[in-house]
Amino acid sequence: MISFDSNIAPGNDSFGLLGKSADELRDFIVSLGEPPYRAAQIYHALYAERLRTIDEISNLSLELRRRLGTVANLSLPEIARRHHSSDGTVRYVLGLTSAGRMDAATIETVFMPEEKRQTVCISTQAGCAVNCQFCLTATLGLVRNLSAAEIIGQVIVALEDNRAALKPQTNVVLMGQGEPLLNYDAVMTAVRILLDPKGLAISPKHVTLSTSGIIPGIEKLAREPVRPKLAISLNASNDEQRNAIMPINRKYPLKDLLDACRNYPLRPWEHLTFEYVLLGGYNDHPEDARQVAKLIANLRAKINLIPWNPGELPYHPPNAARVEAFRKILADKGYLVFVRYSRGQDVMAACGQLALLESSRIVPPQTLSSASR
Ligand code: SF4
């Protein structure tokens, strides 16, 4: 935990500044008898400047910083391990040891540098209960939901750890461990801060939330005034096939899911993204592509085809000819189709690989601290 003064340890009930909205910070600051504009200064320091300790918020008086150090904390996820890929991707194993929390856990966050931008892939839960059969995270089960602080903290940690090489544009994808729409409130609190021009100030065009198809969550997201782009993890061309690899489909079958997609209010610049992991010999037949085209007919859709990453699970990568044939069938129907070869495969950072055994451990805080960096 990072605090203002190592000699003044905040108590377990100290107020966590990170992950708080402008309104929550204002209520807290006013409760201390301070003027509300102090909260705006803290909000700016946390998210626009990405300062990592209370001590660094130098436009607060020394006295206020000292006081905050005793009643509040600025606790970021700790980097337990970094795994560097040959393609520049960094997979972080982060320890979550927020002040006062007994349920410490580890999660994974991936930083992917490109020529003109960087993409940060963040987790929204430790583990996941959705049990998609092609996903290593599913083997962990759900450890727990992440807080808004733990979600936004991943972006701050990844950006600050790469500060010297940052490009002007940052993309954030909520595609790491967990089903974002099953941790709705914390996810949306974090997303609002990400998208707030006074917060992390990332464009809604550059933040994408991916769901396995939780229909009530999609309907709720549709009513949000501020929201990220939406991606649906489709991965099958019919219910029988999808039931077998995504058991959530039994609860929210394809027809209902696609109805929810048709009712989803896209902004003028927006496409709905469908992700489709191509499992060799399973869902990569030309007939599957034709069925997918029918499923998403009349939707303003973009399709990302993700050839399966070889791993510990009993599936096979598709061959290149099958991938191209699948792409062409959809492209000929007029859809935007991209083949996304996952990055960071050599450090298990690729799609569906975010689950080392270390992620499943409930790690006591003192163990994490000693393993840190
Ligand atoms: S693909 Fe996503 S929703 Fe499915 S088990 Fe993995 S983390 Fe959970």
pLDDT at 178: 96
Rounded-to-integer distance, Cα 207 and Cα 77, Å: 21
**Ligand 1: centre distance to CA 231 (Å):** 13
pLDDT at 13: 77
> What string of DSSP letters covers 61-119?
-HHHHHHHHHHEE--PPEEEEEEE-TTS-EEEEEEE--TT-S--EEEEEEEEE-SSEEE
Check the CA dihedral 361-364-367-373 and report its sign. Answer: positive
Of 58, 60, 46, residue with least CA distance to 16 = 46
Q: Which atom of ligand 1 is nearest to the CA of 246?
A: 4
> What string of DSSP letters covers 255-318?
HHHHHHHHTS---TT--EEEEEEE-TTTT-SHHHHHHHHHHTTTS-EEEEEEEPPP-SSS--PP
pLDDT tens readout for residues 27-51: 999 999 999 999 999 999 999 999 9
Find the catalytic residue in 132, 135, 261, 351.
Answer: 351
Q: Which atom of ligand 1 is nearest to the CA of 178?
A: 7
Give every CB contact of residue 25 below 8 A, 6+ residues apart in sequence: 17, 39, 42, 43
User: What counts of helices (H) and strands (E) characterise the chain?
Assistant: 13, 14
Report residue 126's pLDDT band, with 50, 70 and 90 as the boundaries: very high
Rounded-to-integer distance, Cα 285 and Cα 281, Å: 7
Predicted confidence (pLDDT) at residue 358 exceeds the cutoff of 50: no
Cα 119 to Cα 156, 163, 171, 276: the distances in Å are 12, 13, 4, 20
Report residue 101's pLDDT band, with 50, 70 and 90 as the boundaries: low
In the residue annotation, 49 being an active-site residue is answered as no
Q: Which value, to the nearest 10 degrees, does the dihedral of the CA atoms of residues 173, 174, 176, 178 take?
A: -170
Which range is least confidently modeled, 9-13, 100-104, 209-213?
Answer: 9-13
Protein residue whose Cα sits closest to atom 6 of ligand 1: 135
Report residue 97's pLDDT band, with 50, 70 and 90 as the boundaries: confident
> Which position has the higher pLDDT, 135 or 294?
294
> In percent, how much of the chain has pLDDT > 90?
80
pLDDT tens readout for residues 291-331: 999 999 999 999 999 998 877 788 999 999 999 999 999 99
| Averaged pLDDT for residues 248-254 | 98
| Averaged pLDDT for residues 362-373 | 26
Residue 48 phi, psi (nearest 5) = -80, -40
Residue 324 phi, psi (nearest 5) = -65, -40
Predicted confidence (pLDDT) at residue 348 exceeds the cutoff of 70: no
DSSP state of 54: G
pLDDT at 372: 27
Which range is least confidently modeled, 10-14, 205-209, 256-260, 348-352?
Answer: 348-352
Q: Which residues of 272-285 are buried (b: 16+ CB within 10 A; e: fewer)?
A: bbbbbbbbbebbbe
pLDDT at 1: 32
Of 318, 313, 266, 247, residue with least CA distance to 289 = 318
pLDDT at 341: 81
Find the catalytic residue in 34, 78, 108, 150.
Answer: 108
Predicted confidence (pLDDT) at residue 16 exceeds the cutoff of 70: yes
**Ligand 1: centre distance to CA 212 (Å):** 7
Which range is least confidently modeled, 14-23, 97-106, 213-222?
Answer: 97-106
**Is the CB of residue 222 less than 8 Å from the CB of residue 263?**
yes
Rounded-to-integer distance, Cα 301 and Cα 116, Å: 25
**Ligand 1: centre distance to CA 13 (Å):** 33
Q: Which residues lie with the beta carbon below 6 Å from any ligand 1 atom?
A: 128, 130-132, 135, 137-138, 177-179, 212, 233
**Ligand 1: centre distance to CA 179 (Å):** 6
Rg of the chain over all Cα atoms, to the nearest angstrom: 21
CA angle 367, 369, 370 (to 5 degrees): 70
Protein residue whose Cα sits closest to atom 3 of ligand 1: 179
Rounded-to-integer distance, Cα 335 and Cα 331, Å: 5
Rounded-to-integer distance, Cα 42 and Cα 268, Å: 35
* 117, burial (CB in 10 Å: exposed 0-12, middle 13-18, buried 19+): middle
Give every CB contact of residue 94 below 8 A, 6+ residues apart in sequence: 77, 78, 79, 80, 106, 107, 108, 109, 154, 157
Mean per-residue pLDDT of the chain: 89
* 231, burial (CB in 10 Å: exposed 0-12, middle 13-18, buried 19+): buried
pLDDT tens readout for residues 149-200: 999 999 999 999 999 999 999 999 999 999 999 999 999 999 999 999 999 9
In the residue annotation, 115 being an active-site residue is answered as no
